[in-house]
Chain A
Amino acid sequence: MPDPKAAHPSVRWMSPKSAIYIIAFVVVLAVLVILQPTKFLSRTNIQQMAFQLPEFGVLALAMMVAMLSGGIDLSITFNSNLAGIVSALVLVSLSYGGAVDFQSLLKGIMAEGAAPAQLVAPTGITMLGIVILSVLAAVAVAGLGGLLNGVLVAKIKIPPILATLGTMKLYEGISLVITRGSPITSFPKPFLFLGSGSVFHIPFPLIVFILCALAVSVFLRKTPLGFSIYAVGENPTAARFSGLRNERILIKTYLVTGLLVGVAAVLMISRVDSVKVGYGNSYLLQAVLVVILGGVSERGGSGTVLGVIFGILILRMISSGFNIVGFSNHFRNVIWGSMLVLVTILNNAVPAIADRLKARRKS
């Protein structure tokens, strides 16, 4: 019996589609460099991109995993808000909480937008422990959020759009109830390293993103679960009849999405040194866009991590190109929307045209 993985085109490391995106990426890059070489290749622009890209990149990977299974996760941004808020609470209360009681501390922070000056965060091993705990809290909360999505989609069989629409509202609500809409700010210094520190001049969040991308890529290509996600996305009925347990696979899919959302949440709150309900809202449309731009079929079942990474890069390039040219945010939305529609049309048209050509050659 032949190895099923070898036979399946979508599980390859790089699909022919990815090659198109690499070409598109090079073209966009070249145009931008030629138009505005001093601004585009400036150190600040590249550094800014290197720090801002990872949080969005990890969110896009999360969206990709959900979309590969033939679903979608509209709750990613609010799930990441909720995870960020819980993580921030853990961080702030453990760092400053020893001295005063939790409630008054929280009130003080939320009212003034800054930690009272007399509070000093612990240092050394204790601080490291606190940072690790707050990161774990974010990942755990977002993971739970993903798990709930998975159960709703797989067990109760709610269509993914509706299930995650509901939980999106739910997570937004819980975040609002916890914080009453005010921001939590002034995290201890060591925590800020996660989102804005560098190791040997390489931004730390970029390292996290690369690790996440590698992990997701290996997960999708080398593990049975990863392969099953493609199978369920491609054709759920066929997957069930070939002995896969669709329900379990879908639950785990949304769990993985949630865990990635947790990582993105940590990067985000640590980079901006605060968290508030509604942060990163615009990432939702963009995440769907880059996943589709990256060659993931909107019906699920095919797409590669490399494609999505190029999708992210193209989007970022164009976005900072807009910055330089000075387009307004609103006009950007017009372009994102048009790109989403156009790329979907092309993605659907290219295979159809290829089929027609093949049929003509045969006849």
Chain B
Amino acid sequence: MKRGFLRSHEFVLLLILIGYSVLVNAVSGSFFTAENIFDILKSSSIMGTMAIGVFLVMLSGGIDLSFPAIATVSMYVAVRVLLLFSGNLLLAFLLASAVGATLGCINAFLIHRFKIPTMIVTLGTASIFHGAMLTLADVPHIYSVPPYFFEFSTKHIFSWTKSGGANIGFSTLAFLMLVIAALTWLLLRFTMLGKGIYAIGGNPEAAKRAGFNIRRIQYFIYCFVGLLSGVASIQYVCLVRHVHPFNLMGMQLDVIAAVVLGGASLAGGSGTVLGTLLGVWMIYVIRNSLVLMRIPSYWDPVVIGLIIVASTAINAYRQQLRKSEVRIINA
């Protein structure tokens, strides 16, 4: 880990992010405004929360395709229950997290007990969770959510009023995401569990022999992704003020793209929380720049697709380099 920050993937990504922002600002002239930047921070907070969970899964060498389905289910259940018995926002977060963690636990059970590939399990459970919800729920849309959701999204940690009367500030949604990121970073950096996640991603057999409890680690990882999906889903309700059964469902690709862009590899064992956040911001900055430069939105998937291909290619290339370095050392 002593490669130095200046040579790390995160630093390169940061440079690209800044360079690209300067470029967009030069072309459109309206990128570097406090309003725009805080807006990007706020709207990227949902994907950010999800990405941190997905990052942990990929760090352990797995992949999760079911988290949008988990988010959709936990969002629906939490809001429905709160509409039945009046509640508050904290309760919403707790409920959604609990539902998410439970569904994540089912993933963990299948993955650990039967040793089948994580992609197949989560592809299957995504369709089970989402299908079950749509079958059981009589009305899967909820358009009138309690007002405290919306109020939370308009609150700021700090804010000021612009001359035009617009209120600009650092959104609580973004703050929540950063707190989760910080906690996850602490977990990975300073706890045995965190080391275990890196270890099973690097080499599961070695991790097992080193005495890590694989079962506990895997259960933790998939419950954690579920929990974060639950949190992200409530953030989403706060932002858009309704519950929709399909809006989150296409997100898995974009989130995985962001995580990969941030330096995590599918082989596991590499990547950082900071890199993941930078990856998420990169995707939102690029989307935002397409809007600012008045490029029609149907170019969006082309650009995102190219980013995924390019970033995975760079990652693969870096890994090959690392392998050849090892070979030189061994020889």
Chain A positions within 8 Å of B, measured between CB atoms, are 72, 152, 156-159, 161-163, 165-174, 176-177, 180-181, 285, 288, 292, 298-299, 328, 330-341, 344-345, 348-349
A341 contacts B301, C-beta separation under 8 Å: no
A334 contacts B266, C-beta separation under 8 Å: no
Docked pose: A162 CA to B315 CA in angstroms: 11
Docked pose: A177 CA to B295 CA in angstroms: 11
Q: Which residue of A lies closest to B134 (CB)?
A: A330
Number of A-B contacts (CB under 8 A): 143
Which of B124-132, B173-181, B186-194, B208-216 forms part of the interface with chain A?
A: B124-132
Residues in chain B near residue A349, CB distance under 8 A: 114
Min CB gap B28→A, angstroms:
21
Q: Which residue of A lies closest to B301 (CB)?
A: A173
Q: Which residue of A lies closest to B121 (CB)?
A: A341
Chain B positions within 8 Å of A, measured between CB atoms, are 63, 110, 114-117, 119-121, 123-128, 130-132, 134-135, 253, 256-257, 260, 265-267, 298-306, 308-309, 312-313, 315-317, 319-320
A158 contacts B316, C-beta separation under 8 Å: yes
A331 contacts B135, C-beta separation under 8 Å: yes
Residues in chain B near residue A159, CB distance under 8 A: 265-267, 312, 316
Residues in chain B near residue A165, CB distance under 8 A: 253, 256-257, 308
Q: Given A159-B266, A162-B266, A170-B306, do A338 and B128 touch, yes or no (CB 8 Å)? A: yes
Contact for A337 among B126, B265, B303, B315, CB less than 8 A? B126
A340 contacts B63, C-beta separation under 8 Å: no
Q: Which residue of A lies closest to B254 (CB)?
A: A169
Docked pose: A91 CA to B128 CA in angstroms: 40
Contact for B260 among A162, A292, A337, CB less than 8 A? A162
Docked pose: A161 CA to B252 CA in angstroms: 13
Residues in chain B near residue A172, CB distance under 8 A: 301, 305
B313 contacts A173, C-beta separation under 8 Å: no
Docked pose: A289 CA to B194 CA in angstroms: 34
Docked pose: A54 CA to B259 CA in angstroms: 37
Q: Given A169-B301, A181-B298, do A344 and B116 touch, yes or no (CB 8 Å)? A: yes
Docked pose: A174 CA to B110 CA in angstroms: 37
Min CB gap B127→A, angstroms:
3
Docked pose: A154 CA to B20 CA in angstroms: 30
Docked pose: A162 CA to B311 CA in angstroms: 10
Contact for A166 among B125, B127, B300, B309, CB less than 8 A? B309
Nearest 7 pairs between A and B by C-beta? A170-B305, A173-B302, A333-B131, A173-B301, A337-B127, A166-B308, A169-B305
A345 contacts B302, C-beta separation under 8 Å: no
Q: Which residue of A lies closest to B63 (CB)?
A: A161
B308 contacts A162, C-beta separation under 8 Å: yes
Determine which residue in B125, B299, B301, B303 has the highest number of CB atoms from chain A within 10 A of its CB, and name it.
B301
Q: Which residue of A lies closest to B265 (CB)?
A: A159
Min CB gap A67→B, angstroms:
11
Docked pose: A71 CA to B316 CA in angstroms: 16
B116 contacts A345, C-beta separation under 8 Å: yes
Residues in chain A near residue B320, CB distance under 8 A: 157
* 16 A-B contact pairs sorted by A residue (CB < 8 Å): A156-B316, A157-B320, A159-B266, A161-B119, A165-B257, A169-B308, A173-B304, A181-B298, A288-B123, A328-B135, A330-B131, A333-B127, A336-B127, A336-B131, A348-B116, A349-B114
Docked pose: A72 CA to B117 CA in angstroms: 13
Docked pose: A285 CA to B119 CA in angstroms: 12
A298 contacts B117, C-beta separation under 8 Å: yes
Docked pose: A23 CA to B320 CA in angstroms: 47
Min CB gap A274→B, angstroms:
19
Docked pose: A233 CA to B316 CA in angstroms: 20
Docked pose: A288 CA to B121 CA in angstroms: 12
B301 contacts A158, C-beta separation under 8 Å: no
Q: Which residue of A lies closest to B58 (CB)?
A: A162
Docked pose: A156 CA to B256 CA in angstroms: 19
Docked pose: A174 CA to B300 CA in angstroms: 10
B131 contacts A334, C-beta separation under 8 Å: yes
Residues in chain B near residue A162, CB distance under 8 A: 256, 260, 266, 308, 312
A334 contacts B305, C-beta separation under 8 Å: no
B120 contacts A344, C-beta separation under 8 Å: yes
B131 contacts A167, C-beta separation under 8 Å: no
Docked pose: A340 CA to B110 CA in angstroms: 12
Contact for B116 among A167, A171, A298, CB less than 8 A? A298
Contact for A170 among B134, B265, B302, CB less than 8 A? B302
A163 contacts B312, C-beta separation under 8 Å: yes
Docked pose: A127 CA to B116 CA in angstroms: 51
Residues in chain A near residue B260, CB distance under 8 A: 162
Min CB gap A356→B, angstroms:
15
Residues in chain A near residue B117, CB distance under 8 A: 298-299, 344
A163 contacts B267, C-beta separation under 8 Å: no
Residues in chain A near residue B63, CB distance under 8 A: 161
Q: Given A152-B309, A333-B130, do A176 and B135 touch, yes or no (CB 8 Å)? A: no
Contact for B309 among A163, A334, A344, CB less than 8 A? A163
Q: Which residue of B lies closest to A292 (CB)?
A: B120
Docked pose: A169 CA to B253 CA in angstroms: 8
Residues in chain A near residue B120, CB distance under 8 A: 288, 292, 298, 340-341, 344
Residues in chain B near residue A298, CB distance under 8 A: 116-117, 120
Q: Which residue of A lies closest to B66 (CB)?
A: A337
A177 contacts B299, C-beta separation under 8 Å: yes
B298 contacts A341, C-beta separation under 8 Å: no
Min CB gap B79→A, angstroms:
19
Residues in chain B near residue A176, CB distance under 8 A: 298, 301-302
Residues in chain B near residue A336, CB distance under 8 A: 124, 127, 131
A348 contacts B114, C-beta separation under 8 Å: yes
Residues in chain B near residue A177, CB distance under 8 A: 298-299, 302
Residues in chain B near residue A163, CB distance under 8 A: 309, 312
A340 contacts B312, C-beta separation under 8 Å: no
B135 contacts A166, C-beta separation under 8 Å: no
A156 contacts B301, C-beta separation under 8 Å: no
Determine which residue in B110, B116, B315 has the highest number of CB atoms from chain A within 10 A of its CB, and name it.
B116
